[in-house]
Amino acid sequence: MIKTSYILLRSVALLAFIASTLFFTSLEAIKDSDGETKNILFLAGDTKHRHGFHEYKAGSILLANAINESGLPVKAKVHWYGWPKNEKMFDDVDACIIYADSGGDFGEKYSFLDQKIKNGMGIMFMHYGVHPTKEVAEKYYKNWIGGYFDDEFSVNPSWVAKMKPKKGHPVSNGVKSVTAYDEFYWNLNFPSPDECTHCYPLATAIPTEQNMVRYGSGKFWNKSAADKLGTPQALLWCSDPPNRSRGAGFVGGHYHRNWAIDDYRKLILNTIAWVAQVEVPLDGVPSSKITKAMLNQNLNRPDSLEEIELPTPDLLVQPAGKKPLLEANGRVAEKPKRKPKNK
């Protein structure tokens, strides 16, 4: 009787152990499934712009550090200056963020990106990154992110934009509005709603003669853009096809100092997370305050004696610039070429 009871007790204990093991293993499996880590790769280009402008490397590192410290199930890494020699860097990447002149100027490597995107990788271009060649734009950008900077009618002024994020969209989480002075391109080449039902603005602002500080390059300013003063323009937008990879474009990021604006930074961090299929917290992707010391790390010209300052309120109240005069062809008159000096 005693022996039988002993065997029975051992059997019950063994069953309890197996049950508890299966229970906790099941919980761990659920935890692993829910907490799947996403991987983000920044490609930061080099530039000929002067100190403090187009600081793609430094800006990408600031954003990547913020993502890695956010507590979200995501890891970010940065490659700077050119195409990665080892393309294994793209293995398991859920979103690629390209912050570079001329869309990265990747030549034949756009087809490599295209295959990655078809296999589920999200993609986002920032600032000059949205301005590739027309050929690349028509072949790839229209499918990847919807819109792009078109030399025929897009413009590159520097102005004070009051950006309104798309209400109810994850990228707007924790962000009510963003006011910043930047080189915000507008009048971009976007498809019509009939051409792309899943392409739409994520943040808009209205350029006016009053908030236009500099009209940008004379080779770009044109009648088509002038006629759109006073109308909402998409500064951040996306392509969000069902059951496929997401794409996004952002025209800001010219002035490195703007990454120190909390809501400006949060809007873009939210967008990056969303492109990577990460659930954006209701309060947005958290990040630490950007200090002046942080702004001046990892710059293209680290030996420069000029320090980059934090953005100040006076940047938002600059006087309006002089509107360029247009000729009959709808373009700004070309400046006469300077005569060579006699030696």
**Could you give the CA distance from residue 323 to residue 308 in angstroms, rounded to a whole number?**
29
How far does CA 296 lie from the centroid of its chain?
A: 21
The amino acid that residue 248 corresponds to is: A
Regions of the chain with pLDDT less than 70: 1-35, 338-343
Question: Which pLDDT does position 106 carry in this prediction?
Answer: 97
Question: Which pLDDT does position 342 carry in this prediction?
Answer: 61
